[in-house]
């Protein structure tokens, strides 16, 4: 028995130089295995509703349904790959209250609460473009005192740096350079 989980619309397979059709054909849903699968859908989001009052649960459920309808292509009329979707006013950032007000809304009291471990675990700003992520990150980092430090990783070594020493390829495989520790609970 194999269990697949997740929303397979979110992360499609990467097909270098592939067309839209190539990507769809490489997905799990297009696989011959999908005919053998039983699909079960979860209907209650326990994580978002635990400890909430009835009105908050209803508001969360309405938002979840709205997001699901976007993913299913049910909003915005006929969808030929491009459509216009009305965003509720409470989710919009109006001119004049751009990223600064969004940061203040998502991260209130960031300087005072940044030492609390769950503070950042309970908050996130999602954007569709990396360019916007960079701008938001720059504004957030500018709030903190001290020097900014950037850590880079590499998937390969420059062998010319080992002129005097013996270069042992086995010691520097990509899985060693980018050793990811997966927590036991995952």
Residues of the chain predicted below pLDDT 70: 7-10, 48-49, 79-81, 93, 95-97, 153-186
pLDDT at 184: 47
pLDDT at 183: 45
Closest CA to 21 of 13, 6, 4: 13
pLDDT at 146: 86
Residue 125 · residue 106 · CB < 8 Å: yes
pLDDT at 167: 61
pLDDT at 78: 73
Nearest-angstrom CA–CA distance, 126 and 133: 8
Closest CA to 66 of 47, 41, 90, 40: 90
Q: Where are the domains of the chain?
A: 1-41, 45-92, 93-186
pLDDT at 122: 85
Q: What is the pTM of this model?
A: 0.44
């Amino acid at each position: 028995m194999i269990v697949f989980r997740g929303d397979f619309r979110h992360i499609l397979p990467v097909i270098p130089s592939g067309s839209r059709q190539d990507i769809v054909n490489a997905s799990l849903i297009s696989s011959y295995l999908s005919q053998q699968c039983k699909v079960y859908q979860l209907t209650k989001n326990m994580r978002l509703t635990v400890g909430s009052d009835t009105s908050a649960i209803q508001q969360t459920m309405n938002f979840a349904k709205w997001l699901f309808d976007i993913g299913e292509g049910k909003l915005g009329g006929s969808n030929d790959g491009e459509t216009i979707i009305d965003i509720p006013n409470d989710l919009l950032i109006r001119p004049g209250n751009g990223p600064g007000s969004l940061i203040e809304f998502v991260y209130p009291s960031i300087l005072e609460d940044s030492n609390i471990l769950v503070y950042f675990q309970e908050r996130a700003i999602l954007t569709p473009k990396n360019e916007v992520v960079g701008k938001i990150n720059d504004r957030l980092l500018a709030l903190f005192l001290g020097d900014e430090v950037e850590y880079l990783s590499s998937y390969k070594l420059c062998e010319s740096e080992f002129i005097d020493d013996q270069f042992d390829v086995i010691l520097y495989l990509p899985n060693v350079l980018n050793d990811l520790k997966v927590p036991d609970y995952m």
